[in-house]
Amino acid sequence: MRRLLAFLLASLLVIAPAPGVIVFDFVSAAAGGSYLLSEDFEGSGTPSGWTTSGTVSFDYTTSPAPFVGAESLAVSSVGGYARSDSFSADQNEVWVFVRVKPGAGVNGGVVSLLNSSNAAQCTLDFRSDRVRVEHGVGSLTSLGASTTSETTFWLRYVAEAPAGSGANGIVQLYINKNSNSETRPALTASISNGTGDAVRKVQLGMPAAGSGVYIFDKVRVSAAEIGSSPL
Ligand SMILES: [Ca+2]
């Protein structure tokens, strides 16, 4: 037993960082490996738990090629959307990972977190060369390039507390504009005075002003942090 304890102590000394050394913990997937939602839009037809409005295809295969696997989600009608009701309970904090290629003339919400009554509590709102994140209040971030490029987003959402009057809700947004890259960059934009409350659903769609095909793939929602290249 004494040898075992000595071995364990030695092991800890080997892996423990030296004093003053900052250790970056890159999270590669949701802690514990469980997601509230994990969807790659493979397989035929509408995945379980999803509802749609407008012209929506869960079996998109044409140009540009699907981001992940053989199929993506495509929304090609103004105001159209696909919405997942798969969260089993209201969530006060969620991380969202999604890969998006918006169509032309983007001006409005593309990714939204909704409450159980389908009211948006947080929206990623695409505008020309910028993206706006809204949590009752807004924060505009320049993308420095057309929003019609394929882009990967990480979004951390924390509801205000107490609900209805906290005005202290958080959004943290990470944007990777490099096509086909899932490396989470440094924080791109944040809000700390948001007024949104608990969320239950995620909605992916085309805003009221836009055209072309909006493509989505590899959607992950977790109560825990999502880092680079989530499973
Ligand atoms: Ca796919």
Q: What is the pLDDT of residue 33?
A: 58
Distance 179 CA to ligand 1 centre (A): 15
Instruction: Give the largest Cα separation in the chain, rounded.
Output: 71
| CA distance to 68, 104, 126, 217, per residue, from 59 (Å) | 12, 21, 24, 11
Distance 60 CA to ligand 1 centre (A): 9
pLDDT in tens, 160-170: 999 999 999 99
- The whole-angstrom separation of Cα 122 and Cα 169 is 10
For residues 104-126, give the mean pLDDT.
88
Distance 217 CA to ligand 1 centre (A): 5
Distance 100 CA to ligand 1 centre (A): 11
Distance 167 CA to ligand 1 centre (A): 37
Q: Is 168 helix (H, G, I), strand (E, B) or coil?
A: coil
For residues 8-12, give the mean pLDDT.
43
For residues 51-76, give the mean pLDDT.
93
Distance 181 CA to ligand 1 centre (A): 15
Query: Could you tell me if 216 and 72 are in contact, meaning their C-beta atoms sit under 8 angstroms apart?
Result: yes
Domain boundaries of the chain, sorted by first residue: 2-222
Distance 156 CA to ligand 1 centre (A): 23
Answer whether residue 72 shows pLDDT above 80. yes
Name which residue leads in pLDDT, 191 or 65. 191
Distance 201 CA to ligand 1 centre (A): 20
Q: What is the pLDDT of residue 168?
A: 97
Nearest of 85, 105, 84, 101 to residue 208 by alpha carbon: 105
Q: What is the pLDDT of residue 145?
A: 58
Question: Half-sphere exposure (CA, 13 Å, Cβ side) for 86?
Answer: 19
The pTM of this model reads: 0.84
Peptide bond into 162 cis (omega under 30): yes
Q: What is the pLDDT of residue 126?
A: 81
DSSP 73-134: EEE-STT-EEEE---SS-BSEEEEEEEEE--EEEEEEEEEEE-TTS-EEEEEEEETTEEEEE
Q: What is the pLDDT of residue 3?
A: 53
pLDDT band at residue 184 under the 50/70/90 scheme: very high
Distance 46 CA to ligand 1 centre (A): 13
Does the 2-222 domain belong in CATH 3.40.50.1970?
no
Residues whose Cβ atom is located within 5 A of ion ligand 1:
40-41, 66, 68-69, 217
Name which residue leads in pLDDT, 222 or 147. 222
